[in-house]
Amino acid sequence: MVTLEHSVPRTAGGLLEWFTSVDHKKIGILYLSSALVFFVLSGILALVMRSELAQPGLQLVDRQTYAQLFTMHGTGMMFFFGTPMVIGLANYFVPLHIGAPDVAFPRLNAFAFWLTLAGAVMAFAGFLTATGAAAFGWTAYAPLSGDAYSPGTGADLWIIGVALSGVAGVLAAVNLLATIFGMRAPGMSMLRMSIFNWNIVVTSILIAFSFPALTVALALLWADRNLGSSFFEPAGGGDPVLYQHLFWFFGHPEVYILILPFFGIVTEIIPVFSRKPVFGYKGFVFATLLIGAYSFSVWAHHMFTTGAVDGPFFSATSMLIAVPTGIKFFNWIGTMWGGKIHFQTPMLFCAGFLFMFLMGGITGVFLASPPLDYFVHDTYYVVAHLHYVLFGGSVFAMFAGLYYWIPKMSGRMLSEGLGKLHFVLLLVGMNAAFFPMHQLGIDGMQRRIPDYPASFGYAQENLVSTAGAFLIALAVLVFFINLFVSLRRGPLAGDDPWGGYTLEWATTSPPPHHNFHRLPPIRSARPVFDERRENAQAGPEGGSP
Amino acid sequence: MIEELRLFVRIALYAAPAAALYWLLSSEVSGTWMLSALVVAVAMWVVSATALSRRRPQPSSAARLLGFEETETESQRSSLELAPQVLPGPSAWPAAAALAAFVTGLGAVYGGWFAIPGLLLGVTCTVGWLTQIQRR
């Protein structure tokens, strides 16, 4: 056992403490809270869209407003919910997992959070302008996003807001890499780190190398709109396809930025609730690295229909990603195989994740084939695929992680009954909302269009999909009720309510300012389990102090 | 540091042939440049990591750069000394600096007048931030 001494700084107290704190745990909670706020906001935008689409004709919003809704829904979910959620969880748990007292650059960490929030507020502030928010889709393809087709300040606010949050993402990623590379406790070698941490390493590398491409694309777009340049304007000799190259060189790694950390969360939870060590530790590490590397060479599968990219190259590399993902699935199943599985709420969400993400992954293999992609490009089939990956994958794993880790963060358990109700509602709602979209896409329904003729036969699937969306909203409401009630009156969690394996379970719930009063000896990837076993073998009087 | 180094070497080993293959197959300029830039960026990380790891034992062979094995010495090593550590206290400068970036950003949308207070606040934050670090 190693005893750690730290001098604990004075804190401001009250609300001011949250504005001035540089403690990674508080910054992590700020990230998570802001991400959940934008999850709800962007979700409300989706509900308005789904209400509009429930039946043919325009009932609630006009076409321009609808364009703003889907733009800000995508923007909110990708930039201001997904990425901050990833960084927030990493902020809170990376130092705990490696036995560090904080991140490498605490003030920079705080700056990155506030910059992310500033970017989010700026992008959403477009709704308050006379011309409304940006209305060119979250991808902001040129020349649609140029001054000619998207006049008004809402579009410029979007560009600057997203650019600010992109810079913040790079700062956070560099900070996390420096923390993991430089602040691991004695004995915590790279190959003893949790799989969650490995996924954060690869995610941070993806952020550090892909976000600059987005920043460049946005800077050039801003210059086209405001300085009269023609980087993406064909009339001035520019190339709109260049924008797509730059955007998707960021955009496809972004998908893995939004899924890899959640792979890590699931890989932490499944062994604990299966009462087994993780199956194939090095296989997981290898597969994570491979996914990270591949993700940089698949970007133009989003651009098959431009006709300006090499279809076979991007088809082959896109399909190759199924191999490391398959390794992960094999290892997850191998971890559960023969284990004593406990289906408490975190594990239920992991099981849901496995099935839902598998669906998204398989439809992704179809989309990697250019002939099929030409057929369903920009249809609801793509929307269904994206949501099975990012909602069925990331959001299910996020809830698994929240149910698993909120007891550590708050010291109180969330209600199991409400958690299971949340899971069932979310599972049913998600499939009702997104499964019919596959058929709609195959039938030819285009995305980003608020209306469709009744004669096209889309009405029934759209109605089911809208009902599913409201069921998802109900499920999320149950989660927030659970959170609100349990954080006040939930049973105390204790230090290690699940019998966890990794270092966060060796400290108090919630952890002290400096994280650890003592660290167990680290001789494997499961130091807390090792210590518990040694204590059990030593008997009640022979345990380590 | 060796496992961290391997991480970036592996990415470069994938990205370099991917860039070459992509150019041979497509002759497409922007994608080839981006993949090549990735190789350069990764190489810069490798150089930095190598420079940092010079204080410690170097890998004995190229095989160690590519493998998944690490020695007991590596696994027990840590850059975190267990001497008493001082955690930084609360600071308003990071939030203020983000506000400065926000106001400066508004200048890019609404005109230079917004950028001026943003830049002034930014300079104030930089000075305040550095002074706070120096005092501690």
Q: Cβ contacts (< 8 Å) between B17 and chain A: which residues?
A: none
For tokens 């969330």, name the residue.
Answer: A414
Q: Is A313 in CB contact (< 8 Å) with chain B? A: yes
Q: Cβ contacts (< 8 Å) between B14 and chain A: which residues?
A: 293-294, 297
∠ CA B65-B71-B75, rounded to 5°: 105
Give the pair of three-digit tokens for residue A191: 């190959």
As a residue count, chain A comes to 545
Q: Are A434 and A388 in contact (CB under 8 A)?
A: yes
| Cross-strand partners of A492 | A412
Residues with pLDDT less than 50, chain A: 542-545
Q: Cβ contacts (< 8 Å) between B79 and chain A: which residues?
A: 182-184
For the segment A71-126, what is each residue's pLDDT rounded down to a tens digit? 999 999 999 999 999 999 999 999 999 999 999 999 999 999 999 999 999 999 99
In eight-state DSSP terms, residue A79 is I
pLDDT at B80 over 60: no
pLDDT at A534: 87
Beta carbons of B11 and A514 less than 8 Å apart: no
pLDDT at A308: 85
As a residue count, chain B comes to 136
What's the total number of domains in chain A?
1
3-class state of residue A119 by DSSP: helix
Q: Which of residues 189-208 of A touch B (CB under 8 A)?
A: 189-192, 201, 205
Q: Cβ contacts (< 8 Å) between A312 and chain B: which residues?
A: 25
Beta carbons of B34 and A285 less than 8 Å apart: no
For residue A21, being part of any structural domain is answered with no
Q: Cβ contacts (< 8 Å) between A23 and chain B: which residues?
A: 87
Q: Cβ contacts (< 8 Å) between B7 and chain A: which residues?
A: 201, 205, 289
Closest chain B C-alpha to A82 CA, distance in angstroms = 20
- Within a 13 Å sphere around the CA of A184, how many CA atoms are in the beta-carbon half? 24
Confidence of residue B78 (pLDDT cuts 50, 70, 90): very low
Q: Are A270 and A337 in contact (CB under 8 A)?
A: no
Beta carbons of B15 and A102 less than 8 Å apart: no
Closest CA to A523 of A168, A188, A171: A188
Closest CA to A430 of A490, A355, A343, A481: A355
Beta carbons of B86 and A514 less than 8 Å apart: no
3-class state of residue A124 by DSSP: helix
Beta carbons of A190 and B31 less than 8 Å apart: no
Best mutation target, B6, B23, B32, B34, to test chain A (most A CBs within 10 A): B34
Beta carbons of A191 and B3 less than 8 Å apart: yes
The CA distance from B114 to A418, in Å, is 48
Closest chain B C-alpha to A238 CA, distance in angstroms = 13
Q: Is A312 in CB contact (< 8 Å) with chain B? A: yes
For residue A452, being part of any structural domain is answered with yes
Give the pair of three-digit tokens for residue A86: 């990833």
pLDDT at B55: 53
Beta carbons of A110 and B94 less than 8 Å apart: yes
For residue A11, being part of any structural domain is answered with no
pTM of the model: 0.91
User: Which candidate from A110, A186, A245 shows the least CB-CB separation from B95?
Assistant: A110
pLDDT at A309: 86
For residue A13, being part of any structural domain is answered with no
Kindly report the backbone phi and psi dihedral angles of residue A446, in degrees, each rounded to the nearest multiple of 5, phi listed first.
Answer: -75, 145
Q: Which of residues 169-188 of A touch B (CB under 8 A)?
A: 181-188
pLDDT at A245: 94
Name the CA dihedral angle for A256, A258, A262, A263, rounded to a multiple of 10 degrees: -10
Closest chain B C-alpha to A481 CA, distance in angstroms = 30
Beta carbons of A313 and B38 less than 8 Å apart: no
pLDDT at A15: 82
Closest chain B C-alpha to A223 CA, distance in angstroms = 10
Alpha helices in A21-82 (DSSP H): 24-53, 63-75
pLDDT at A327: 95
3-class state of residue B58 by DSSP: coil
Integer angstrom CA distances of residue A408 from A146, A510, B37: 47, 5, 41
For residue A543, being part of any structural domain is answered with no
3-class state of residue A213 by DSSP: helix
Best mutation target, B40, B87, B125, to test chain A (most A CBs within 10 A): B87
For the segment B5-43, what is each residue's pLDDT rounded down to a tens digit? 788 888 888 888 888 988 888 888 888 888 888 888 888
For residue A271, being part of any structural domain is answered with yes
Give the pair of three-digit tokens for residue A339: 């284990």
| Cross-strand partners of A3 | A518
Give the pair of three-digit tokens for residue A44: 């409300």
For residue A3, being part of any structural domain is answered with no
The CA distance from A502 to A511, in Å, is 14
For residue A17, being part of any structural domain is answered with no
pLDDT at B77 over 70: no
User: Which candidate from A5, A118, A242 shows the least CB-CB separation from B101?
Assistant: A118
∠ CA A483-A397-A402, rounded to 5°: 25
Q: Is A7 in CB contact (< 8 Å) with chain B? A: yes
- Which CATH number characterizes residue A488's domain? 1.20.210.10
| Cross-strand partners of A2 | A519
Closest CA to A165 of A211, A203, A129: A211
State which residues form the domain around A193.
27-538
Q: Are A209 and A124 in contact (CB under 8 A)?
A: no
User: Which candidate from B38, B41, B108 shows the least CB-CB separation from A160?
Assistant: B108
ipTM of model: 0.90
3-class state of residue A492 by DSSP: strand
pLDDT at B5: 78
